[in-house]
Chain A
Amino acid sequence: DAGVTQSPTHLIKTRGQQVTLRCSPISGHKSVSWYQQVLGQGPQFIFQYYEKEERGRGNFPDRFSARQFPNYSSELNVNALLLGDSALYLCASSLFGSVQETQYFGPGTRLLVL
C-alpha cells in the first residue's frame, strides 16, 4: 500500500507570494495533520482535519489555512509568505486522528522563501 504522499517535494517562492501544498493520506485514513519543521527543531503542529472538519489548530497566524476534501486528501495554503515560513512542511495521516493512534508522516514539502 502507498504511504502518505505530498506534492510538490520542493518549492521556491518570494516574499508576499502564496503557496498551496498537497497531501494524500494512506488509504482508509480519515484524518490529516499538518506540521511545520524548521531546521534543527521538532515538527510543530499547524492543523488537524478529520472528516473534512478542522479539529485542531496550532499557534500559527491566519495566513495559514487548510482544507480536507471528500477523498480525505488535504491542502495547506500559506498567504503573504515571509522569510520565516521557510521550512519542511509535513503531513501526517491516521485513521481517526486520535493522538493515541500512530501518525504516519509523508516525505514533506521543502519550502524556501526568498
Chain B
Amino acid sequence: QQPVQSPQAVILREGEDAVINCSSSKALYSVHWYRQKHGEAPVFLMILLKGGEQKGHDKISASFNEKKQQSSLYLTASQLSYSGTYFCGTEGSGAGSYQLTFGKGTKLSVIP
C-alpha cells in the first residue's frame, strides 16, 4: 500500500516553517525521506528506523511514530534551496520485503 502524504503542495516564504506528513495503513519498520528537484534524481535526506526516533539534518528533522504508523518531516526557517518535491518511502512488514513504496509527494515552493 502506498503511503499517503499531506499536504499535496505548500507555498512558503523564506524563513517560514513547514510540516509534511506521511502515513501508512501497514506496520512500518522504516521511513525514508527524499527531496527531488525538477528534472533531477531524488536526493536522500534521512532514514528513520523502528523505535519512534527523531532525527535532525541541519534545519530539517523528522519523527517516526510506529504506533500511529506515520512520520513527519519538519523544515524550519525555510530557504529557497528547500524548494522541490518531498517523497516519503516506506517498507512494509514481513520477511523479504525489500522494496520501498513511495508516496505521491509533497511539492514545496519557497518564495522570497
Interface of A toward B, CB cutoff 8 Å: 33, 40-45, 48, 50, 55-56, 58, 90, 97-108
Contact of B98 among A41, A56, A102, A104 (CB under 8 A): A56
12 contacts between A and B (CB under 8 A): A42-B105, A56-B96, A56-B97, A90-B42, A98-B98, A99-B30, A99-B97, A100-B29, A100-B30, A103-B44, A103-B100, A107-B41
Interface of B toward A, CB cutoff 8 Å: 2, 29-30, 32, 34, 40-44, 47, 49, 87, 89, 91, 96-105
Q: State the CA gap A24–B41 with chains docked (Å).
A: 15
Closest Cβ of chain B to A22, distance in Å, is 15
Cβ A102 vs Cβ B47 within 8 A? yes
Q: Give the interface centre of B49, B99, B101, B105 by most chain A CB atoms within 10 Å.
A: B99
Cβ B44 vs Cβ A102 within 8 A? yes
Closest Cβ of chain A to B43, distance in Å, is 8
B32 / chain A contacts, CB cutoff of 8 Å: 99, 102-103
B47 / chain A contacts, CB cutoff of 8 Å: 100-102
Cβ B96 vs Cβ A99 within 8 A? no
Closest Cβ of chain A to B27, distance in Å, is 13
With contacts A48-B99, A99-B29, A99-B97 known, is A41 near B42, CB below 8 A?
no
Cβ B41 vs Cβ A48 within 8 A? no
B102 / chain A contacts, CB cutoff of 8 Å: 42-44
Cβ B91 vs Cβ A41 within 8 A? no
Closest Cβ of chain B to A103, distance in Å, is 7
With contacts A43-B87, A99-B30 known, is A108 near B41, CB below 8 A?
yes
Look across to chain A and name the residue whose beta carbon is closest to the beta carbon of B103. Answer: A42
Look across to chain A and name the residue whose beta carbon is closest to the beta carbon of B47. Answer: A102
Cβ A41 vs Cβ B41 within 8 A? no
A45 / chain B contacts, CB cutoff of 8 Å: 99-101
